[in-house]
Amino acid sequence: MYQASEASWNLRDTHMYDTLTRLLEAWGPASRAVVWAHNSHIGDASATAMGTEYKQINLGQLCRESMGDRAALIGLDTYTGTVAAASEWDGPMQVRQVLRARPDSYEHVAHASGLARAFVDLRTGVTGACAALRERLLQPMRERFIGVIYQPETELHSHYMHAVLPLQFDAWLWLDTTSAVRPLAAPAPARGTRDMPDTYPFGL
């Protein structure tokens, strides 16, 4: 993990993919899984600057390459609202205000539609209005990525990159305004146990 950023990222997402496939194998050929992760992990990296400029791969790309149509990559985006994120690595979680999306972004296009929420089918083979929308969204645009870290003061550099949305995702869930997730209450550790198990990233 302690390598250059591209190598570290690729190692991390390859590990995610390996873990997922081993779980599916363990549960048998009829097993299915739902993976909830940030767009930078779920969408196909080869349809974004992650892959084309930074040579990064991710979980979604690896699933699509190995599973084909058996994998559905679903993105989630917003125009503004709040998000639970830290301002720096190893920093505390904060509820932060999300800036309104840039005018040259997919998020702004969705906001301009006036829809408070939508689920957009981006797969090839859609017909009618969906096909026309997919064709329009094939134009590369900026997309905002907010993950563990959110730094609104450097948002353009830190969180936007060019992408081709219909090639990145099979479907797109749109919420014009979103609210930060709230962590579930964690049960107290059993008596006699340590607070933190001796596992990644501390059990080296």
Q: Following DSSP, what letter does each residue of 59-125 receive, concatenated?
A: HHHHHHHHHGGG---EEEEEEEEEEEEBSSTTPPPEEEEEPPPPTTBHHHHHHHTT-SEEEEE--TT
User: pTM for this one?
Assistant: 0.87
pLDDT of residue 185: 80
Which residue spans of the chain are classified as CATH 3.40.1660.10? 73-180
pLDDT along the chain (204 residues), means of 10: 70 97 96 96 97 96 97 98 95 96 98 97 92 95 96 96 98 97 75 56 48
* CATH number assigned to the domain with residue range 73-180, chosen from the 4 options 3.40.1660.10, 3.40.50.300, 3.30.70.3270, 3.40.50.2300: 3.40.1660.10
pLDDT of residue 204: 45
pLDDT of residue 75: 98
pLDDT of residue 98: 98
Q: How far apart are CA 139 and CA 167, in angstroms?
A: 11
Please name which of 18, 14, 7 lies closest in space to residue 55, comparing C-alpha atoms: 7
Query: How many angstroms separate the Cα of 5 from the Cα of each of 85, 193, 204?
Result: 20, 35, 20
Q: Which residues of 160-171 are buried (b: 16+ CB within 10 A; e: fewer)?
A: bbbbbbbbbbbe
Cβ–Cβ contacts within 10 Å for residue 105, how many?
20
pLDDT of residue 195: 58
Cβ–Cβ contacts within 10 Å for residue 134, how many?
18
